[in-house]
Amino acid sequence: MIGRAFPIALGIVGEAGAFFRHLRKLADDFPPDPQQIAWRKATIQELKQNCPLLYPDEYKSEAAPIYPSALVRVLQETLPPETMIMLDPGNAIAWGIHCFTVDPPMQIHSSLAMGPMGFGVGSVVGAKIGRPDLTCVALVGDGAFMMHGAEISTAAQCGAGAIWVVLYDDNLLMVAQGQEHYFRDEKEPTIWEKLYRLGNPDLVKFAEGLGAEAYSIESPVELRKIMPAVLGRANQYGKPQVIIAHINQKAFSPYFPKSTVEQAPACPK
């Protein structure tokens, strides 16, 4: 029902496919502005060259457990140029947006407007079914993966070689870090980390039980080593692939830089 939940400026009732085909025809009447295109390209290039990373040492690190930014770096190095990447809300989207450098034909999709946990977990299946010729990867947190990971069975049933890379810290860490940032408790400094633990689930067994081939990694070296097999099994044989990446739990996401967390006011008594 158009207008039921969100205000709209122009409501159009019609079949989606027909609407987009008609819209494409209309696009020819509105050619792009060459000056705007040139400005945009120059701006993007400047951002890619000069936008600093919050923690460059972590990004370059080869240490275990793997830093989330280092994990993104290895993915950047090993994924094909035409990869379609789904970023799930939470710290996953923060690390993905902050650390990936996206050059076409690579694509990144997220759901920042509503931020629903599990968006990436399910959407990567649809992406792979719709574009079986592309590598389709979801970067997700372990909390969201536990909520919607049963979609692996859909991928297995359909022969869709989707790939999930799961940031495993046994915590809803964006929430825990956010609470620590805004409401630090001097009497019990680790209270927020404790409250959002997930119970140390074995997500490798979980993924395998639903039809995926699953891997557990702790370092950039291990991730780099398995990527050729992961890509081959997903793209050539249609086997869902799940990488459980045990990340450094002390890494502060770009939402809450370490310096601001340390300077945050204590929770009022």
Tell me which residue has tokens 């701006």.
Answer: 43
- pTM for the model: 0.85
Looking at residue 47, its pLDDT comes to: 84
Looking at residue 259, its pLDDT comes to: 61
Ordered strands of the 84-87 beta sheet: 107-109, 84-87, 136-141, 163-168, 241-246, 213-217
Please tell me the total number of residues recorded for the chain in this structure: 269
Backbone angles phi, psi at 86, to 5 degrees: -105, 125
Looking at residue 260, its pLDDT comes to: 55
Q: Measure Cα distances from 31 to 23, 35, 37, 40, 87 in Å.
A: 13, 12, 11, 16, 31
Question: Which of 190-227 are b and which e, b meaning 16 or more Cβ less than 10 Å from the residue's Cβ?
Answer: ebbbeebebeeeebbebbeebebbbbbbbbbebbeeeb
Domain parsing of the chain, residue ranges = 56-263
One-letter amino acid identity for 38?
A
Q: Hey, is 98 helix, strand or coil?
A: helix
One-letter amino acid identity for 177?
Q
| pLDDT tens for the chain, residues 1 to 269 | 777 787 888 888 889 999 999 999 999 898 899 999 999 999 988 888 887 888 999 999 999 999 999 999 999 999 999 999 999 999 999 999 999 988 889 999 998 877 899 999 999 999 999 999 999 999 999 999 999 999 999 999 999 999 999 999 999 999 998 898 889 898 998 899 899 999 999 999 999 999 999 999 999 999 999 999 999 999 999 999 999 999 998 898 888 877 654 544 443 33
Homologous superfamily, domain 56-263: Thiamin diphosphate (ThDP)-binding fold, Pyr/PP domains (3.40.50.970)
